[in-house]
Structure 1
Amino acid sequence: MLLIQRSSDPEEILLGEFDVIAAGAIPWRIEDGELQVLVIHRPRYDDWSWPKGKLDPGESIPECAVREVREEVGLTVRLGIPLEATAYTVNSKAKVVYYWAAQLANGAEPSVDGNECDEARWVGAKQAKSMLTNPTDSLPLDDLHDAHLAGQLETRSFMLVRHAKAKPRANWTREEGQRPLAATGRRQALAVARLLECWQPEHVATSPWLRCLQTITPYVTAHDIKPKMVNSMTEHAAQRKPEKTVKSLGKLLDKVRSQVLCTHRPVLPLILPLISARAPQAVRKLLPTADPFLEPGGTIVLQQPAGEHERIVSIEIHAPFAD
């Protein structure tokens, strides 16, 4: 099972096998109308690069990216669009580094500890490219700069989650809407919450059935969010009135805000075509087209340009936590 698939990555990344996996982000801001990015100097390597590092045990790739920015420059970020990953060989091992854009408000300043990073500078994109020591580090910067020119850099995240693993249907004799998560599913729900933290959705919508509610409970509890119950996102409602289910998704997407929707496997083939219709071919080709579409606890992350509900500019698929 692939841990991650992203519309920003070339085929050699999507299909490649890597010995070492790392992640990072390019913090950016607009200062006096100019795009600026944060480059860092690492004394261990005596190079200029981006905040990045290898995965800790049990950590997802987006979690690693957020942690590395926090540890290296003292900034807590919310991930934006995915940027092209880089791959190269280190000590005869194939290594991949996944990157995201991370918008910061004006006035946010880094704090370095002098160990992993001893200097951080806000510079224009052109100057950053001339400073980078490793030529491959220019790939995600080029992605970021192109997105800025296209008006696709400032975005809002929409996250689609299939509920975590539930108790087997065959062993459940009571009301279907009350079928709860299995023990594995409860652990997956905690992992879903950790993943959501990387994008920090401020709004949560969900099917009111228990297994969906239990999937998003760790996140909404941590953030004191009252989830919106969407009755049309249950399995039964989707079967009886599929057009209403699709309409409900459209209304959520039209809000263009940071949000997450938790629903069921049988709902996915109804709503994925609407997502596909709002994305360009290069982006929508990543969407799953065959059952089960997502594994239990799996997540699709979409990015919508601020104020443009008809466009989806990137898609990511994240595999669920597995024991």
Structure 2
Amino acid sequence: MSLVMRSSDDPVVTGGTVKVLAAGALPWRVSGGDLEVLMIHRDKYDDWSWPKGKLDDGETVPQCAVREVREEVGLHITLGIPLPAIRYPVKAGQKIVYYWAAQVDGGRAVPDGHEVDSARWVSPAEARRWLTNPSDIDPLDVLESAYIDGRLATVPLIVLRHAKAKPRSSWTKEEGKRPLAATGKRQALEVAALLSAWEPQRVASSPWTRCIQTVSPYLKSRGLGVKLVPGLTEHEATRKPASVRKTIRKLMDKGVPQAVCTHRPVLPIVFDALAERLTGPLARFLPGRDPYLRPGAIVVIQQPMAKLRKPVSVEVFETFDD
């Protein structure tokens, strides 16, 4: 499994030996001015819980959460703020479930009829009465608190380090044209699947070849173009770091889901710009040591849509590296 680090999680919960990994979401909506969440009932276990399931082989945790909601209740979602992971014992050993909030603006929840036989929209108070597993209340409490504070409806900014490139030592041509290695091309496909969990509508990138090749599979899958930002190249960032900070600030102020792809030497400048907007302990979740991110890894920052307030969460995910 790719690395998971989220500001929502208690290290006591996510640390130690884990035998079963799962992911899911708490779909939410506002109906008649009131917050509602979607619960599911599983006939096999006769329990009320949240849509969730175990990771498939080669699947990342965010991908699993989106897929499980689609398979169990037929809803297409994108991930919002991360909610606390929960841990509990099962026959195989310790199980961890990673959760996210997921706003649902339309579509009807249709139980798959196999694992899920019923789904219902309820108030948080009703959900607390119906939930079978007491630990399932933890992510609900955080979701409701975020709604009350105006921090539940968010937009993501995703910072991406390009996938694995051919070694500098073996490349004799122009640095900006150094392409992805074979591993990097495979990573780019996984990056596309990973980004789909948040569906950025805009993508900005360094114009160097390895960055363009990293985001191309996602762009093609969505029919999107890319905004090339020369200031995000290694050379320009070294000459004008203030330009990088300005670019990141402008992206954060756009108020739409977006991603930005750049290079390892540029990442500390990018993270400095992000840290300016982060409050309290959130900044410590930003990578702080070289190489900051491994090739193909991402950082996801969620910002509330209400007046584009300061970011409320930080997540880090890695792709494979063979």
How far apart in 2 are the matches of 1:72 and 1:126?
23
Question: Match for residue 279 of structure 1?
Answer: 278
Question: Match for residue 237 of structure 2?
Answer: 238
Question: Match for residue 28 of structure 2?
Answer: 28
- Deviation larger for 166-175 or 110-119: 110-119
Q: 1:73-127 deviations in whole A, cap 9, x for unaligned?
A: 011101100000001111150110000000001x421111321100000000110
Question: Match for residue 262 of structure 1?
Answer: 261
The alpha carbon displacement at 1:14 in A equals 4.3
- Deviation larger for 168-177 or 302-311: 302-311
Q: 1:153-196 deviations in whole A, cap 9, x for unaligned?
A: 00001100000000000111100000000000000000000001
* 1:72 counterpart = 2:72: yes
How far apart in 2 are the matches of 1:129 and 1:284?
32
How far apart in 2 are the matches of 1:290 and 1:231?
24
Between the two proteins, what is the percent identity of the paired residues?
52
AA in 2 matched with 1:99: Y
5+ residue gaps in structure 1? none
How far apart in 2 are the matches of 1:92 and 1:102?
29
How do 1:147-166 residues align onto structure 2 when only pairs under 5 Å count?
A: 147-166=146-165
The alpha carbon displacement at 1:34 in A equals 0.3
The alpha carbon displacement at 1:310 in A equals 4.7
How do 1:62-141 residues align onto structure 2 when only pairs under 5 Å count?
A: 62-91=62-91, 93-105=93-105, 107-141=106-140
TM-score with structure 2 length normalisation? 0.98
SS at match of 1:95: strand
AA in 2 matched with 1:64: C
* 1:9 counterpart = 2:9: yes
How far apart in 2 are the matches of 1:237 and 1:17?
44
4+ residue runs over 2 A deviation = 13-17, 307-310
Question: Match for residue 168 of structure 2?
Answer: 169
Whether the aligned pair in 2 keeps the contact of 1:283 and 1:314 (CA below 8 Å) is yes
Question: Match for residue 296 of structure 2?
Answer: 297
How do 1:196-235 residues align onto structure 2 when only pairs under 5 Å count?
A: 196-235=195-234
How far apart in 2 are the matches of 1:120 and 1:70?
13
* 1:51 counterpart = 2:59: no
Whether the aligned pair in 2 keeps the contact of 1:79 and 1:199 (CA below 8 Å) is yes
RMSD: 1.2
How far apart in 2 are the matches of 1:21 and 1:78?
20
Whether the aligned pair in 1 keeps the contact of 2:204 and 2:260 (CA below 8 Å) is yes
SS at match of 1:308: helix
Q: 1:227-266 deviations in whole A, cap 9, x for unaligned?
A: 0001100000000111111111111111121000000000
How far apart in 1 are the matches of 2:218 and 2:8?
27
Whether the aligned pair in 1 keeps the contact of 2:19 and 2:92 (CA below 8 Å) is no
Whether the aligned pair in 2 keeps the contact of 1:22 and 1:95 (CA below 8 Å) is yes
SS at match of 1:23: strand
Whether the aligned pair in 2 keeps the contact of 1:254 and 1:310 (CA below 8 Å) is no
How far apart in 1 are the matches of 2:80 and 2:266?
26
How far apart in 1 are the matches of 2:266 and 2:90?
44
Q: 1:35-56 deviations in whole A, cap 9, x for unaligned?
A: 0000000011100000000000
Whether the aligned pair in 2 keeps the contact of 1:178 and 1:211 (CA below 8 Å) is yes
Q: How many pairs does the alignment contain?
A: 322
5+ residue gaps in structure 2? none
TM-score with structure 1 length normalisation? 0.97
Q: 1:262-300 deviations in whole A, cap 9, x for unaligned?
A: 000000111101211211223222111100000000000
Whether the aligned pair in 2 keeps the contact of 1:166 and 1:182 (CA below 8 Å) is yes
How far apart in 2 are the matches of 1:227 and 1:276?
25
